[in-house]
Chains A and B, each alone.
Chain A
Amino acid sequence: MFTTLLIIHGLLAVALLGSITHQTAAACWPATSKSSFISSFRGVAGARYTVANIILYIVTGVLGAVIYTVYRIAVRPYLETAQLWTVNGSFEVKEQFVAIGLGMLPLYWMVWRTPLDAKLASARAAITAILCFIVWYSFLVGHVLNNVRGLFGR
């Protein structure tokens, strides 16, 4: 069951990664035309991603919290035995970042409410970029951990 949950957790994380990266690009580097691939990527209506991102963040986080128990019992002791301190520490940082991101979700929703408040443009960009960083960092750390024995197995 945990393997299935881990795969669903990973798939939802991929969806969130794409969605919040689009929104961050739209907030931090808005495009007025869609003449190229890059400007099309940046030229999305960012506000339309907000609710989906919040739901994906919470559901992915809840699934991560469920499979965290298996990590604690099976994976972390291995990391300690194998002395993979950087990998172990990366996960410790991830769990704290994800928690802080959860606390920012109500504010994230507020700054993306439509009609968009022009005075909140910089806050919108900052908050979305922080959440985007948390999602990218968490995804990469999770990906390395899923493959830790293959990458660092001794």
Chain B
Amino acid sequence: MSITRVFPIFAAAFAIVYVVSVEVNWALVTYHPRINEWEWLTRPAKSGLPMYWYGWLGTSFLAASAISLLALPLTRRWSPPVWIGWAVPLAVMLVFVYLLRSFFLR
């Protein structure tokens, strides 16, 4: 059982969890750049705009790793198609363009 068999699942899960994390704001950490302070999970602004991007990456990495580990036993009998590993991220990229369209339509 090779761990590389779950890499398509990891790529797809990472992209899906990432877009959900951004939309729902599930950040593993919050960074306040003006006061150089880190906090666990999603926290409101303290001084200036907080940064959640690092937290969204952390959430996505952990969740995609967990999903991949859970899927690992399944790949003994079923080989996940490689195309999900690029088609899902590509679709999520298009979703982001749609979600951020207001910047370009002003």
Chain A neighbourhood of B82, CB < 8 A: 107, 111, 120, 123
Query: Closest B-chain residue to A103, C-beta based?
Result: B14
How many pairs, one residue from A and one from B, have CB atoms within 8 Å of each other in the complex?
Answer: 100
On whether the beta carbons of B18 and A89 are closer than 8 Å, the reply is no
Mark the stretch among A10-18, A19-27, A91-99 that contacts chain B: A91-99
Chain B neighbourhood of A107, CB < 8 A: 7-8, 10-11, 82, 85-86
Any B CB within 8 A of the CB of A52: no
Any A CB within 8 A of the CB of B33: yes
On whether the beta carbons of A99 and B11 are closer than 8 Å, the reply is no
CA A87 to CA B98, docked complex, whole Å: 16
CA A85 to CA B103, docked complex, whole Å: 5
B39 CB, nearest partner CB in chain A, Å: 15
Any B CB within 8 A of the CB of A82: no
CA A101 to CA B93, docked complex, whole Å: 10
Q: A89-B104, A107-B7 are in contact. Are A100 and B86 (CB under 8 A)?
A: no
Any A CB within 8 A of the CB of B97: yes
Any B CB within 8 A of the CB of A116: no
Task: Pick the residue among A72, A89, A100 that contacts B33 (CB under 8 A).
Answer: A72
Task: Pick the residue among B4, B97, B103 that contacts A110 (CB under 8 A).
Answer: B4
Q: A123-B83, A130-B86, A130-B89 are in contact. Are A106 and B103 (CB under 8 A)?
A: no
Which of B11, B92, B96, B104 has the most chain A CB atoms inside 10 A of its CB? B11
Per-residue contact bits, chain A 20-40, to B (CB 8 Å; 1 contact, 0 not): 000000000000000000000
Any A CB within 8 A of the CB of B71: no
Interface of A is mostly: helix
The 3 closest A-B pairs by CB, nearest first: A89-B103, A103-B14, A107-B85
B residues with a Cβ closer than 8 A to A are 4, 7-8, 10-11, 14-15, 18-19, 22, 31, 33-34, 48-49, 51, 53-54, 56-57, 60-61, 64, 82-83, 85-86, 89-90, 92-93, 96-97, 100, 102-104, 106
A residues with a Cβ closer than 8 A to B are 65, 68-69, 72-73, 76, 83, 85-86, 88-90, 92-93, 95-97, 99-104, 106-107, 109-111, 113, 120, 123, 126-127, 130
